[in-house]
Amino acid sequence: MTTQTLAKPSQRQNGPPLTETIALAWLSLLSNKLRSALTMLGIVIGIGAVIAMISIGRGAQQQINKELQSLGSNLLFVQNGVANTGSPASQGAGSATTLTWEDAQAIARSAQSVKAVAPLLNSRTQVVSTFANTNTALLGTTPDYVTVQDFLPLTGRFFHQGEVKQAERVAVLGQSVVKTLGMTPENAIGKTIRIRGEAFRVIGTLEYKGSSQFRDQDDVIILPLTTLAQRIVGVNALNGIALSSITVSYLSADQMEAAKFQITNLLRLRHKIVPPNSDDFSVSSQQDLLNTVNEVTGIFTLLLAATAAISLVVGGIGIMNIMLVSVSERTREIGVRKAVGARSGDILWQFLFEAIVLAFSGGLLGIVLGIGAALLISLLLGWATSISPESVLLACGVCLGIGITFGVYPARRAASLDPAVALRID
């Protein structure tokens, strides 16, 4: 009998079980449905925006990576240097015409780690066929382009070295150009197109490479380098055909650094560059470009997410505000509970759970909203999006943190109320 009498106070000291505390929190929130819904709105919008922005950023990053990888494997990109305008402001990489076809030929002859070299000259102009016309990209190169870029003809053939040497008016069309000019890959062979008044014979069409919101890889016409330089562009460097860039494929993955070293030293010798003068060219690998792209898109994604996260802070402040109002409105309830044996810890946990439930419920709705928004953007605008499980788990953790951070103060305030004061009748 004595044992039972002693056990009852001990049980009271343990307080109500966790399930009872959670149930009380839910009942309190459900008694004010509209206010609870409006309080969650800031969290819903914030989490939804963060999920959507991260999905757009990751999708853009994956799309760019895919496009870089579609160019081929084991590639180095040699770009023109910076134009010297006499002002302290840099014109940016590639602003000077410093690379020539002779540079590309020297690399192919002398760099032992190099497999193939494709000199590239870019332009853009209007192209006319019998039934249609289009403004498209022109690319002048050599037959090695097929090996370097892994860009094979779908129908017909690529031009050969003799046609490059003779500056023949032959063209290989990308599939977007074929379609725009009212042709098919099969009937395009042998047709004539006109580029700046010059008649060109179509000898091949390229295999499909695909397009994205960034660019259409099939919207291109490939011509012999000499043809584009002499008949279309009409501007050459003093010491040879000026190039937009040079793409180099190296023998194997372990030869990349050796190839970069050989190309850099060779071009320094050819361009008579000695220290402390800077290089008038740059050599980068696919991995260098991928790292740069990932860094830029990572910062872009972070900025988007940070901007969207501002609404989370606003939502958290809203939760704190409503919880403080709730404490003021339920002063008598708190006094009654304390009078019948509830401890301060029980009161604290009840109000803290209310804040957590508000934040977490809003977060779950926000995740659904964010995923739906990302899918809708992808469907309507054609943007690449990528929803990662990590961002969803992060959102859940953020919601939990917001509930605890912005719910602690109102909960402690409720727990610290004196029951005598709380039950006082004015």
Q: What is the DSSP track for 25-90?
A: HHHHHHTTHHHHHHHHHHHHHHHHHHHHHHHHHHHHHHHHHHHHHHT-SSEEEEEE-B---SSSS-
- 260 with 402, same domain? no
410 within some domain: yes
167 within some domain: yes
95 closest CA partner among 109, 105, 81, 108? 81
Residue 334's domain spans which residues?
Answer: 15-65+293-422
83 within some domain: no
- 306 with 407, same domain? yes
Better pLDDT: 184 or 409? 184
- 275 with 297, same domain? no
90 within some domain: no
Domain end position, chosen among 279, 309, 330:
279
Domain end position, chosen among 253, 279, 305:
279
- 261 with 359, same domain? no
- 244 with 349, same domain? no
- 311 with 273, same domain? no
178 within some domain: yes
pLDDT of residue 157: 94
Q: Is 301 helix (H, G, I), strand (E, B) or coil?
A: helix
- 119 with 22, same domain? no
361 within some domain: yes
- 248 with 128, same domain? yes
Better pLDDT: 68 or 382? 382
- 247 with 300, same domain? no
242 within some domain: yes
pTM higher than 0.75, yes or no? Answer: no
- 274 with 301, same domain? no
User: Peptide bond preceding 276: is omega within 30 degrees of 0, i.e. cis?
Assistant: yes
Better pLDDT: 190 or 404? 190
Instruction: Give the separation between CA 132 and CA 346, rounded to whole angstroms.
Output: 79
Give the model confidence (pLDDT) of 281-300 as tens digits: 999 887 777 777 778 777 87
pLDDT of residue 140: 95
Domain count along the chain: 2
139 within some domain: yes
The stretch 204-220 carries a mean pLDDT of 78
- 118 with 245, same domain? yes
Give the model confidence (pLDDT) of 354-402 as tens digits: 888 888 888 889 889 988 988 888 888 777 788 878 778 878 888 888 8
Domain end position, chosen among 209, 244, 279:
279
- 105 with 251, same domain? yes
